[in-house]
Amino acid sequence: MIFFYNIFRLAYQSAIRLAANWNPKARKWVDGRKNRQQELRANWNVEPGQPVVWMHCASLGEFEQGRPIIEEIKTHYPNSKILLTFFSPSGYEVRKNYNGADHVMYLPMDSSANAKDFLDLVKPKLAIFVKYEFWHYYLAELNNRKIETILVSGIFRPSQAFFQWWGGFNRNMLQQFTHLFVQNATSKELLDRIGVGNKTSIAGDTRFDRVLTAAEQWKPIEIVDTFCGTDTIIVAGSTWVEDENILSDWMKPINDYKLIIAPHEIKTENINRLKTLFPKSISFSELSTHNSQPITHNCLIFDNIGYLSRLYKYASVCYVGGGFNKSGHHNILEGAVYGKPVITGPNFEKFKESVDLKKLGGSFTITNTGELKEVMLKMDISAAGTIAENYVRENAGATNSILQYIQEKRLFTNA
């Protein structure tokens, strides 16, 4: 299987380098990895006895799961040094200036030489992989060096390669971890079957801790306060075309609501498309420039990033986009934590929290405009919001479980 893995690695690199000629995201993936080892070598200095933590995240969503662990480690062990790596530009480009880490970079592509060179430079005491991302050479080299390596917020499904008759190579990667913290009992049971249950524990999902912290640190956005006034607000976050078309159709005959929409894509051409789709809309940039003028718009389009988790607090109901994509919707907990019911598209079953909240009555799924109208008419907003908030609070605590494990291992005794 190592032969096929290497073929996959080389094919992936070749394909993405080819795509970089016309695809901006692929170009960032390629350019972002140029000279990264040299840059790390020039800027990464570790004091004698200083413990190093390396956290790797695939993208932005995984970063939000790993973030509370980074911040708790920094609180309890302020002398520790944190290296944060990303695989995807959608994570790195947004969080490359995150000040909770001492250095942020793209992870060099998995290979035996890269793994050895990287670990020689970083010298981690603890390696943390978040949810997904299983890289053979990095994990094997970590294991060879007896470096504590944990998976956090892991979630597993029977369809994954680990649980197939031909998945021995994938199962071997799981054996390289010192410990696996998973989100639910189903994941634990699956890992029990393949012989890694003895190093697995159910901790839950650290995103619950992250959204609670974000809610506690919430700050108002003055311009949004002005736009909302006393009106009933729908906040639609991380939306894609399918979501936006449904919302547009729903808004046309509606006069009782205002919509705040934070699309997944904020390029100028997409913002202009949304302004056509929502004729009574204004962009956040425009409103910021002309905030002294009376507001006659019923739709505010956010054309920048970094506000979404704060925006959800202004909502009576949250619509979370991406649910018409194969990969599923974006993070519903960011709205639920404020006691807001959540609506998504139909692809929700990959997400435990979405399945749970739908059963409890705190979230709802729709496939078309008619279903959105029906949900909005029948929903008891207050009751559904209470269910959503209680669910978030009841499922917090994963970060503490992981930190307790780290403390018991006495990894930072020299900190």
Q: pLDDT by residue (tens digit) across 363-378?
A: 999 999 999 999 999 9
**What does the pLDDT read at residue 216?**
95
> Residue 49 carries which DSSP code?
T
Mean pLDDT over residues 226-233, rounded?
Answer: 92
Q: How many CA atoms lie within 13 A of 314 on its CB side?
A: 30
Identify the CA nearest to 343 among candidates 365, 375, 373: 365
What mean pLDDT is reported for the chain? 93
Q: What is the pLDDT of residues 146-177, one digit of tens each?
A: 999 999 999 999 999 999 999 999 999 999 99
SS3 1: coil
**What does the pLDDT read at residue 415?**
44
- 48 pLDDT tier (thresholds 50, 70, 90): confident
Q: What is the pLDDT of residues 263-316, one digit of tens each?
A: 999 999 999 999 999 999 999 999 888 765 667 899 999 998 889 999 999 999
Q: Where are the beta strands (DSSP E) in 316-377?
A: 317-320, 342-344, 363-365
Distance, in Å, from the CA atom of 173 to the CA atom of 164, rounded to the nearest integer, reads 14
**What does the pLDDT read at residue 41?**
86
Whether residue 257 is predicted with pLDDT greater than 80 in this model: the reply is yes
Residue 399 CB contacts under 8 Å (≥ 6 apart), including other chains:
68, 69, 72, 206, 209
Distance, in Å, from the CA atom of 329 to the CA atom of 239, rounded to the nearest integer, reads 9
Neighbouring CB atoms inside 10 A of 333's CB total 27
Note whether 341 and 385 are within 8 A (CB).
yes
**What does the pLDDT read at residue 193?**
96
User: Residue 54 corresponds to which tokens in the numbers above?
Assistant: 């390396």
Of 49-58, 65-74, 254-263, 390-399, minimum mean pLDDT range = 254-263
Whether residue 5 is predicted with pLDDT greater than 60 in this model: the reply is yes
- 411 pLDDT tier (thresholds 50, 70, 90): confident
Residue 354 CB contacts under 8 Å (≥ 6 apart), including other chains:
328, 329, 332, 344, 348, 363
Token pair 């920094």: residue = 74
Distance, in Å, from the CA atom of 215 to the CA atom of 390, rounded to the nearest integer, reads 14
pTM, two decimals, is 0.88
Amino acid type, 302: F
